[in-house]
Amino acid sequence: MFSSLLIANRGEIACRIMETAKKMGIRTIAVYSDVDADARHVRLADEAVLIGPAEAALSYLDGAKIIAAAKQTGAEAIHPGYGFLSENPNFAESCTKAGIVFVGPSAKSMRQMALKDQAKRLMELANVPVTPGYHGDDQTETTLAAAAKDIGFPVLIKAVAGGGGRGMRKVEHKDEFLAALTSARRESLAAFGDDKVLVEKFITNPRHIEVQVFGDSHGQVVHFFERDCSVQRRHQKVVEEAPAPGMSDEMRAAMCGAAVKAAAAVNYVNAGTVEFIVDGSAPLNPDKFWFMEMNTRLQVEHPVTEAITGYDLVELQLKIAAGGAVPKQADILLKGHAMEVRLYAEQPDKGFMPSTGKLAVFDVANDEHIRLDTGYEAGDWVREFYDPMLAKIITHQPDRGQAVSVLGSALGSVHVWPVRTNAWFLEQILRSPEFGLGAHDTGFVDKYLDEMMGQRPTSAQIAAMMVQGSATEIAGVTSPSPWASLGGWRLNGQANVRTRTQIDGQVFDVEIQFAGDQQTILVDGELCTPIGVPSDYTVLVQPGGKRICFFNSNFWEISVPDASSEAGTLDALDSILAPMPGKVLEVRTELLASVVQGEVLVVMEAMKMEHALKAPRDGVVEVLNCKTGDQVVEAMVLVSLN
């Protein structure tokens, strides 16, 4: 076993790998960009090396700098984590040439599985079932459009070099195909440096089930059972679990057997994941699953496999990289049910726009019932340059029902501020009856998104709650005296409480009218349905009087309104502001153009995702303050309407 390991990654995966390496007595070396100088993975490492500026292409994706750092620190091995250079065969070869062990498969195996079209042809030769589609070299629009028509809509356009849902578009009708193709190619080129795509049939009610495999240098390949990753948004996994709901012994044997066959076909060594698309329109059938792709690396969701098998997969990776062998298949047993959610820095109620900033509060469960994998602590910065995942929250319980319950409770107690998270959205997924029954497929989020969004209290309801019942203390009203409110009061007359409050920057006029035991609540003169006062809320008081109220996986900022905030509310519909720092990919309007509400005017890229910025109302473009390629800062006015 080698004595020193450089982790060519950042965030939670770098911290996760260090945890195992330290347990094994291996010296750990971190690399970091200039904005990550005080990141958690740097603090945990025994040694750390600066490799460049914030932009990943100039730091974490620069293989030469990483190998130089390994030589500088005497690292005997490099673990690439996932993402960045983890599936880059050229980097793996460079490590070998430099005399450094690459913890992962060979460059040859990577190349065989890296391009989806090539991998599918290889799987066909190995008698592994493959999704019908076009995997050819002719990439003209005419050929691809014709292939889509022959396959039959709906189809999926997929980047051949892709992963993580980038460069992937579902197309329902032929009239949408060319626009989707352009967008998929652009995103693929930006993410992977390759705009080649394939087109395949979209399977109705598809489930995404994958198999964890391991191979060693002695010619052995084993599996560690399956994971269900069907809960996805924009083709990115949100909830992962093992084993897959509804999995029969017959189906498991067929699928895991196919995965082992796929890995053996390329003489695979180390950790890999074989991903299948499964027909979820009926009970799982051994004849209705198809190979999608193989990820030649460790996966984000590996903790659920560790939980049900009891194996530390990073430890096994390191042992195999040092020449060790995989365990016997008969010794790999499945126990209980594990589930993982990905806590993202994003705003579900605002189109899942990423959120950045300094984590003043970062309180997430981490106890005997919950495993927390994270690259952050309170005081750390969430930067716009990298993936928005803050943490993985994992539980392992005797059965699926208990796993759902324990994980849901953990999400309900998440306190993160001022960075927004998707915790409450994840909690809604777990509370869904369809998810509880295991009856979901990859279209689950799209199907129930509006319903789940409707479960979040509106700002008006929060404003009402703040001045209602025992919650008056939260709003700063601590006395029942009539002098403590702006409402009129008279002897033997109807009592009213009236006040103005500001919730997340929006000002509300709240009036509570009392008639005996009955209360009528008006917000801005409109009748408001109360949500009741939660019993488990937490309030954080900030300097200057601002209060942060946490409950139900959410937070709201409460303050006394001022003139500037009210003016800002009136002006909000006149401009499109950059929601965060990023790059302008496309400007779809021009000066003096007439636009309609909801029309996409600017497309931005931030935190590895595209974001469409839409007109807030009908109007005419009076100011156009950006062009394609511009780097913009948060809150910059991009377009103004008159």
Tens digits of per-residue pLDDT, 390-406?
999 999 999 999 999 99
pLDDT level of residue 517 (50, 70, 90 thresholds): confident
- CATH of 4-103 given 3.30.10.20, 1.10.10.1100, 3.40.50.20, 3.30.200.210: 3.40.50.20
3-state secondary structure of 177: helix
Q: pTM of this prediction? A: 0.81
The token pair at 217 is: 């240098």
Model confidence at 351, in pLDDT bands (50, 70, 90)? confident
pLDDT of residue 131: 85
Q: Is the per-residue pLDDT at 481 higher than 50?
A: no
For residue 436, pLDDT over 50 is answered with yes
Q: What is the pLDDT of residues 21-36, one digit of tens each?
A: 999 999 999 999 999 9
Q: What is the pLDDT of residue 312?
A: 98
Q: How do 506-515 and 518-523 pair as beta strands?
A: antiparallel
Highest mean pLDDT among 67-81, 533-547, 592-606: 67-81
pLDDT mean over 287-309:
95
Q: What's the CATH fold of domain 568-641?
A: OB fold (Dihydrolipoamide Acetyltransferase, E2P) (2.40.50)
Residue-wise pLDDT tens digits, 421-433:
999 999 999 999 9
Count other Cβ atoms within 10 Å, centred on residue 440. 24
The percent of residues above 70 in pLDDT, for the chain, comes to 92
Q: In the predicted model, is pLDDT for residue 103 greater than 90? A: yes
What would the CATH number be for the domain defined by 132-201? Answer: 3.30.1490.20
Residues 6+ apart with CB under 8 A from 214: 221, 222, 223, 224, 270, 271, 272, 313, 316, 320, 326
- By mean pLDDT, which of 197-211, 369-383, 429-443, 471-485 is the weakest? 471-485
**CATH tag for 459-561 (out of 3.30.70, 2.60.40, 3.40.50, 3.30.700):** 3.30.700
Q: How far apart are CA 517 and CA 489, in angstroms?
A: 17
Q: How far apart are CA 206 and CA 131, in angstroms?
A: 12
- Residue 316: per-residue pLDDT: 98
Asked whether this chain's domains 206-335 and 568-641 adopt the same fold, the reply is no
d(CA 223, CA 52): 38
Mean pLDDT over all residues of the chain?
Answer: 89
Above 70 in pLDDT, residue 621? yes
484: pLDDT strictly greater than 60: no
Find out whether the peptide bond into 243 is cis, omega within 30 degrees of 0. yes
DSSP 192-240: HS---EEEEEPPSSEEEEEEEEEE-TTS-EEEEEEEEEEEEETTEEEEE
In this predicted structure, which of 40-54, 157-171, 323-337, 483-497 has the lowest mean pLDDT?
483-497
- Per-residue pLDDT, 349: 87
CATH of 206-335, one of 3.30.70.240, 3.40.50.300, 2.60.40.730, 3.30.470.20: 3.30.470.20
- CA atoms of 3 and 27, how far apart (whole Å): 6
Q: Higher-confidence residue: 512 or 285?
A: 285
Residue 534 burial (CB count, 10 A): 15
**Per-residue confidence at 535, pLDDT binned at 50, 70, 90?**
low
Domain boundaries, the chain: 4-103, 132-201, 206-335, 343-456, 459-561, 568-641
Mapping DSSP to helix (H, G, I), strand (E, B) and coil, where does residue 379 land?
coil
499 closest CA partner among 531, 466, 473, 471: 466
Max mean pLDDT range (95-109, 521-535, 580-594) = 95-109
Instruction: Quote helix, strand, coil % in the chain, to nearest 5.
Output: 30, 30, 40
Top pLDDT among 634 and 161 is at 161
* Higher per-residue pLDDT: 121 or 263: 263
Give the mean pLDDT of 606-613.
77
* Cα–Cα distance measured from residue 578 to residue 613, given in angstroms and rounded to the nearest whole number: 8
- Helix 423-431 vs helix 400-412: crossing angle, to nearest 10: 150
| Annotated catalytic residue within 16, 166, 185, 297 | 297
pLDDT of 427: 95
pLDDT computed for residue 4 by the predictor? 98
Which element (helix H / strand E) includes 465? helix 459-466
Cα dihedral: 31, 36, 40, 41 (round 10): -10
DSSP strands (E only) in 220-321: 221-233, 236-242, 270-279, 289-295
pLDDT at 501: 84
Between 141-155, 186-200, 524-538, the lowest mean confidence (pLDDT) is in 524-538
pLDDT band per the 50, 70, 90 thresholds, residue 193: confident
Pick the more confident residue, 633 or 607: 633
Reported as a single tens digit per residue, the pLDDT across 466-478 is 777 433 444 444 4
Query: How large is the average pLDDT for residues 139-166?
Result: 90
What does the pLDDT read at residue 10? 97
Torsion, Cα of 458, 438, 171, 347 (10° steps): 30
Average confidence (pLDDT) over 446-465: 87
Instruction: Compute the distance between CA of residue 239 and CA of residue 231 in angstroms, rounded to an integer.
Output: 5
Class of domain 343-456 as given by CATH: alpha beta
Residue 233 is a catalytic residue:
no
Candidates 31, 5, 15; CA nearest to 100 is 5
Please spell the DSSP secondary structure of 62-119, one letter per residue: -HHHHHHHHHHHT-SEEE--SSTTTT-HHHHHHHHHTT-EESS--HHHHHHHHSHHHH
Nearest to 109 by CA among 241, 286, 268, 242: 268
Dihedral of CA atoms 59, 60, 65, 71 in degrees, nearest 10, equals 140
CA atoms within 13 A on the CB side of 331: 4
The closest alpha carbon to 133, from 338, 292, 1, belongs to 292
| 374: phi then psi, degrees, rounded to nearest 5 | -150, 155
